[in-house]
Amino acid sequence: LVGKVDQLIVGGGIANTFLAALGHPVGKSLCENELLDTARGIMADAKARGAEIINMSFGIGIPTILAGTIVTMENVTTALSKQGIAIFAAAGNDGDNVDSEECFSFCVPFSDTYCWKDCFETYWHFPCENNGVECIGGLGANTRGRDPGSNYGIRDVQLFAPYTVRLGATPEKKDPIHT
């Protein structure tokens, strides 16, 4: 992909691989250590071509009542998208429907005329639900179906890709476990 674009924003666990390749600590976060050389090669190729790679590896469910606090980032992702920059973010690893809504109805007492029903999302999944961001869910191992650990949604998660969860090393083995 880096050979076809001028700017690329990388999100989700793969961004940690790029950060680690640059020497930044990623702690216990998902990181494909066996791909560090590949990430360095991609970054070197991008630099040689004058392309930019922007890492974005974070996600948080913000209560809807506080969603206004991310307006600045919403404006940033919208502006970047309008400049033709592709922005991708992982849907998340909680198995949640990022589009789920709660509904309520209200009627003015003693009136059938003044009633309404409203539905809203209880959480804004940031940056996944931002304008201009393609939210990517995870496919289950050896299947074309969603992995139960991947977040999903009808409106905001329309793309899925292979999904690997790194659980960590076992006491008997030094190699990380993949599922």
Say if CB 91 and CB 98 are below 8 A apart: yes
The sign one gets for the Cα dihedral 37, 39, 44, 45 is positive
Percent of the chain with pLDDT over 70: 77
pLDDT band at 179 (very low <50, low <70, confident <90, very high): very low
Most confident of 40-54, 82-96, 159-173: 82-96
Q: Say if pTM beats, i.e. exceeds, 0.75.
A: no
Q: What is the pLDDT of residue 55?
A: 53
pLDDT tens, residue by residue, 46-73: 777 776 655 555 667 788 788 777 777 7
pLDDT in tens, 91-136: 888 888 888 877 777 787 776 677 777 777 888 888 888 888 888 8
Longest dimension (CA), the chain: 72
Other residues' Cβ atoms within 10 Å of the Cβ of residue 151: 25
H/E run at residue 37: helix 36-49
